[in-house]
Amino acid sequence: MKQLIFILIVLHFCFCKRECTKTIEGELNKDNYYVLKQVNFYNDCRDTTCYLHKAYYPNSTLSHMVKIVNNKFEGVYKSFDTLGKIIKEGFYLHGRKNGLWKFWNKNSYVEKEYVNDTLEGKTIEYFNNGTIVYGQYLKGKENGLWIWKKKDYVDQVARFENGKYNGLCFAFYPNGQMRVRSFYKNDTVGKKEYWDTVGVKITEKQYVKLCEHN
């Protein structure tokens, strides 16, 4: 049989609120080696609705871990890449993201806040190239003032309402001189003005969509 899935249950002396049951699930790969898929740890022998869940990649590296209560994630959640590096960490309440969540990827590190699975509150993202983005969410959409900072100067400033650019948007040179000024309404701009590094106006354009923040 090429593939075998089985569950091994190991029972220890049963004391309330102490680990007494562990289930292990895995399968045989094409080379006939056993590959671990997940392990569940139960704290109470009489209650199988509450347990610590750990899942694994085919290379046996931990994929994620979280407590499960009544089939819902509960408490601290952590996930990792196939090399064992953490890529996500946060908190679940009754199966929904709540509070501060942290995300790691190859280009940046991000912190976001959730309320009942919806982005709500401040966010900050640090890019490997030195750029930092400060912003905030309201009901899952970008809202209020957002700032793009490159190393030691502010690169751009924009204001959002309901996830869209609204109001004035500014971009700056490293010396602090304004580079671009735009006015937006629901992601659409009527005019965009440009200056050189010493403050001399170069030109203006009409009907350009979205703020430049590259």
Determine the straight-line distance between the first and last CA of the chain, rounded to whole angstroms: 54
Residue 98: pLDDT band (50, 70, 90) is very high
pLDDT at 15 over 80: no
pLDDT at 32 over 80: no
Residue 9: pLDDT band (50, 70, 90) is very low
Mean pLDDT of 56-73: 94
pLDDT at 207: 63
pLDDT, tens digit, 9 for 90 and up, residues 128-184: 999 999 999 999 999 999 999 998 899 999 999 999 999 999 999 999 999 999 999
DSSP H or E segment with residue 44:
strand 34-44
Q: Spell out the residues 6+ positions from residue 51 whose beta carbon is closer than 8 angstroms to its own.
A: 40, 41, 42, 43, 67, 68
Mean pLDDT of 99-113: 97
pLDDT at 25: 82
Mean pLDDT of 181-194: 91
Q: How far apart are CA 130 and CA 144, in angstroms?
A: 23
Q: Where are the domains of the chain?
A: 1-60
Tokens of 57: 């990649």
pLDDT at 187 over 50: yes
Better-scored residue on pLDDT, 56 or 6:
56
Residue 180's Cβ-count burial label (10 Å; 0-12, 13-18, 19+) is: buried
User: Range with the lowest mean pLDDT among 10-14, 83-87, 142-146?
Assistant: 10-14
pLDDT at 48: 85
Q: How far apart are CA 137 and CA 146, in angstroms?
A: 10
Mean pLDDT of 20-34: 71
What is the average pLDDT value for the chain, to the nearest integer?
Answer: 86
User: Range with the lowest mean pLDDT among 16-30, 50-64, 196-210?
Assistant: 16-30
Residue 203's Cβ-count burial label (10 Å; 0-12, 13-18, 19+) is: exposed
Cα–Cα distances in angstroms (integers) from residue 138 to residues 70, 100, 122, 162, 198, in the given order: 30, 15, 9, 8, 38
Q: How far apart are CA 52 and CA 88, in angstroms?
A: 17
Tokens of 156: 């751009």
Tokens of 196: 């050189």
Do 92 and 77 form a contact (C-beta atoms < 8 A)?
yes
Please report the sign of the dihedral spanned by the C-alpha atoms of residue 80, residue 86, residue 92, residue 96.
Answer: negative
